[in-house]
A and B are shown apart, each in its own frame.
Chain A
Amino acid sequence: MSTTAIVMMVVAMVVIWGGLALAILNLSRSRSTPRASEVHRDL
């Protein structure tokens, strides 16, 4: 592979997969309100 192709591949990976990692991290810090009914709701 050429250097520019490798650089662009790495850029795409860092931005997209890194973005995903940040999005997951952000969401894991965001508290979702717990509910008593959550466990047994059998729908």
Chain B
Amino acid sequence: MSSSVVAEEEQRRGAFSSRRVFILAAIGSAVGLGNIWRFPYVAYENGGGAFVIPYLVALLTAGLPFLLLDYSIGHRFRGSPPLSFARLRRGAEGLGWWQVGICAVIAIYYAAVLAWAVRYTFFSFTKAWGSEPADFFIGEFLQVSDPGVTADPVAGVLVPLVVMWALVIGLLALGVQKGIGATAMVFIPVLVLSFGALVVVSLFLPGAGSGLDALFTPSWSALAEPTVWAAAFGQIFFSLSIGFGIMITYASYVHRHTDMPGSGLVVGFSNSGFELLAGIGVFAALGFMAQDSGQAVGEVAGEGGVGLAFIAFPAIINEAPAGALIGVLFFASLVLAGITSLISITEVVISAVRDKFELGRVSATLVVALPMAVLSVAFLGTTSGLYVLDIVDHFINQFGILLVAVVSMVVVVWGLRALPQLAAHLNDHTSVHIGLWWRALVGVVTPVALGYVLVDALVTDLRTPYEGYPTWMLVVFGWGSALAVIVVGFVLARLRWRDPWTVDALGAEDELSEGAQR
């Protein structure tokens, strides 16, 4: 493939200007809210210091190998998930659209959490939540209704939500390098600095040591528990943004002659490195809270997630010396980490629509993101937003992301037997030789481990209705959204490509070089 053809393709689809930009964008995608509010809690609940062992095993045997699988698909086939899968095998295109559908659903509610975090960043200056942060969050801020769906808007959420979408749409319209790449180049260093400052301040709080004690004291017996290992694989999987199209999309924007395995190691370890930092910061703060309120760290830790960020942290900020500073650093970090993730999730949808319908950057961004923004405002900007968010988030994670990841992995590995070809592609330019070990991990270890996590989650949700919500809500928003993305995905795959040659047109250079290796 001549350099002019490569340049033409990059001009048409967009591309990152360098390996460094790609790596920062990929880190921006991987590091999100889950690193800050999920990891510390999961580690604490599952063996504390002993959790390090299953966590590292999961990173090395499933997380990184899966990341490289995504990279190899996107980088080899140079397309969004539907285009990459279609180029791998025509009939596999639906898998790509299924992943795209999941990304669309996640972006719709993820934006709302960012809107909350933006408001809370400003609340931190005056501690606007008062002395009862839980009552404030549920009652005054979100104005949560009884379970159900309402159309009553909540201006305090709706307005920042609209602003958040306007910002994300603006950044995405700027394109792969100027929008996604440039955002990551600025946001990721600022995020590391602001969260690093938060950790330093937290470590000087009285009681910080007891929090770290709680987080790192090992419970060795936990290593014998299958649930602990499942939690480790689940954490690694959800944290790395793998298996639902993001890394395929980003890898398709990377120049052909790039060391993808070497880059993947940096991305994977950066993600875990940030999680560890978050664990230290969060538990140091929780240690202070425990000492201040005379409770055990476990009692103040709660369940992580929304409650940790929007209820426990405001309570800490109320009592801590330099509380306002802690608040601003914490919520600004959530916003920074979240925006780069929201951008990556939305980009998957934009990229797929561009590939299939040959739309320009700006028009595709508007066609895709405006309807998503409208749905986001309609469902999350109302008094029932918290319920919708909680249910959709739970089900689309378990029976969207996890399910599509396991299914696509099995199809690619065992159905299409594509691993030898993909391994050869990775080995074209690599500092880490991709040998049989990778095929064994991606072909057997990862699907078995993730399959176990998936079945475990399925059994739990079938036995007990999630959080005791009304059945109709779980059926419509939970099971319904997980099923809808599958149906919509395979319907979209039936539509014609605007340019019928798109699927067949893959660089002749690649075909030759890989043909020679076989």
Residues of A within 8 A of B (CB): 1-2, 4-9, 11-13, 15-17, 19-20, 23-24, 26-27, 29-30, 32-33, 35, 37-39, 41-43
By secondary structure, the B interface counts as helix
Closest to B209 in A: A1
**CA separation between A39 and B218, bound complex, in Å?**
50
- Count residues of chain B with CB under 8 A from any CB of chain A: 45
The yes or no answer to B206 lying at the interface (CB within 8 A) is no
Q: Within the complex, what minimum Cβ distance (angstroms) separates A1 from chain B?
A: 5
Q: Is the CB of B265 within 8 A of A27?
A: yes
8 Å CB contacts to A: which residues of B269-300?
A: 269-270, 272-273, 276, 280
Known contacts: A2-B213, A9-B212. The answer to whether A26 contacts B431 by CB under 8 A is: yes
- CB-based nearest A residue for B7: A37
Complex Cα distance A20/B268, Å? 8
The 8 Å CB contact of B265, one of A6, A23, A29, is A23
Residues 287-326 of chain B: 1 if any A CB is under 8 Å from the residue's CB, otherwise 0? 0000000000000000000000000000000000000000
Beta-carbon nearest neighbor of B6 in chain A:
A37
List the interface of chain B (C-beta within 8 A of A): 3, 7, 10-11, 14-15, 17-19, 48-50, 52, 56, 175-178, 209-210, 212-213, 215-218, 255, 257-259, 262-263, 265-266, 268-270, 272-273, 276, 280, 429-432
Residues in chain B near residue A20, CB distance under 8 A: 266, 269-270, 272-273
Chain A residues with CB below 8 A from B265, complex form: 19, 23, 26-27
Among A17, A37, A42: residue with most chain B CB under 10 A:
A37
Contact A16 B269 (CB under 8 A): yes
Q: Quick check: B14 and A43 within 8 Å, CB to CB?
A: yes
Q: List the A residue with the shortest CB-CB distance to B23.
A: A27
Q: Which of A9, A26, A41 contacts B432 (CB 8 A)?
A: A26
Q: Which residues of B contact A23 (CB under 8 A)?
A: 262, 265-266, 268-269
CB-defined contacts of A39 to chain B, threshold 8 Å: 17
Q: Are B178 and A2 neighbours in the complex by a CB distance under 8 Å? A: no
Contacts of B276 in A (CB 8 A): 12-13, 16-17
User: B213 touching A32 by the CB < 8 A rule?
Assistant: no
Asked if residues A27 and B431 are in contact (CB atoms below 8 Å), the reply is yes
What is the CA–CA distance of A35 and B15 in the complex, to the nearest angstrom?
13
Distance in angstroms from B251 CB to nearest chain A CB is: 14
CB–CB A32/B216 < 8 A: no
Q: How far is the CA of A9 from the CA of B208 in the complex (A)?
A: 14
Query: Cβ of A16 and Cβ of B17 under 8 Å apart?
Result: no
Tell me if B262 and A26 are in contact (CB < 8 A).
Answer: yes
- A16 cross-chain contacts in B, Cβ below 8 A: 56, 269, 272-273, 276
The 6 A-B residue pairs with the shortest CB-CB distance in the complex, in nearest-first order:
A8-B49, A33-B257, A30-B431, A20-B269, A23-B265, A5-B216
CB of A39 to closest CB in B, whole Å: 8
Whole-angstrom distance from the CB of B119 to the nearest CB of chain A? Answer: 33
A41 to B10, CA, bound (A): 9
